[in-house]
Amino acid sequence: MTIRITGTGSALPEKIVTNFDLQELVETSDEWIRERTGIAERRISTGDTVATLSAEACRRALEMAGKTAEEVELILVATCSPEMLLPCCACQVQDIIGASHAAAFDLNAACSGFLFALNTAYAYMQSGIYRNALIVGSEVLSKVVDWSDRGTCVLFGDGAGAAFVEASAEDIVRDNGRKVGMECMVQGSDGTKGMVLSCAERPVNNAFISEKQTASPYIQMNGQEVYKFATRQVPACIHEALDKAGITAEDVDMFVLHQANVRIIESVAKRLKTDISKFPMNLDKIGNMSSATIPVLLDELNRGGRIQDGNRLVLSGFGAGLIWGAALYEWI
């Protein structure tokens, strides 16, 4: 069985917020933000929701794949910023696009969410439960950002990316014997470090608690600890995936990483002893969109013709949890 991506799509809010706009809100500057993050601007919702952005990205992925919504068997939405606890975002997407025959549920693995959803869909298809899936990473982080905190408000943006994934009955193999599509994956987590990047939901308050509990509804981040985690763990998990496949970093054409910070990506490239040109980036224009960064970048590369048949890609995500993962994929 070969499991491959046959369509990609993305959706971004129209409003662009530049570093100069943020200078009006907090004590910062374009130079300060660019030097520390590589970000120049980000997209911010003025009404778009996680569900509406997801649905638009899904429509575009289905159009590329030449499929209708009625043919979709599974919808997985990775998000850590849903507007509603119930129903889940995936069911809202199912309703919006008319995927009446699909099963649908959400998954929260923060910035690694799209990758974990892709791996989940892979397992479902390998077991024969489903033959295809719509995988989405979608966030509206602007509603959980403290716009008076310059350490976090400069980082995040809103958007969604999607991929339509299909399983073929038989393996698709190159003339050299190499299998295409999804080759292997690794993923892991360390809950002991979870509070270095957190965002509280509703605290426990009910009729049987005398003192009201409170919690900050905004993203809280220890930037130094996140940086140390990412620059150590991401190269390690990529090496693990490459070792599993029996190849080296030199055999990889492109490393599609979570777009958190240009310094992190440069550090990963250095530790892998790989030229930075193999690490495409778009964070300067859209910032850190958590689970949406990998699929949005993948769609941009795909539609721009930068991914060619036979290219080997490493997809790698890392973030709150702390959670990390990597997948090796040969494009077809």
At 237, list the tokens.
């998990």
Catalytic residue selected from 80, 111, 153, 237: 111
Asked if residues 159 and 138 have their Cβ atoms less than 8 Å apart, the reply is yes
Burial class (CB in 10 A: 0-12, 13-18, 19+), 35: exposed
258 is catalytic: yes
Catalytic residue selected from 19, 108, 119, 288: 288
DSSP of 87-127:
S-HHHHHHHHHT-TT-EEEEE--GGGHHHHHHHHHHHHHHT
As a three-state string, the secondary structure of 241-267 is: HHHHHCCCHHHCCEEEECCCCHHHHHH
Sequence-separated (6 or more) residues with CB below 8 Å from residue 223: 151
Closest CA to 234 of 260, 198, 252, 196: 260
DSSP of 47-77:
S--HHHHHHHHHHHHHHHHT--GGG--EEEE
101 is catalytic: no
The residues that bridge with 9 in the sheet, in sequence order, are 162
Q: Which residue has the tokens 């989405």?
A: 136
Asked if residues 77 and 106 have their Cβ atoms less than 8 Å apart, the reply is yes
Catalytic residue selected from 80, 119, 153, 258: 258
At 40, list the tokens.
């120049």
The DSSP H or E segment spanning 188 is strand 181-189
Q: Annotated catalytic sites, by residue? A: 111, 258, 288
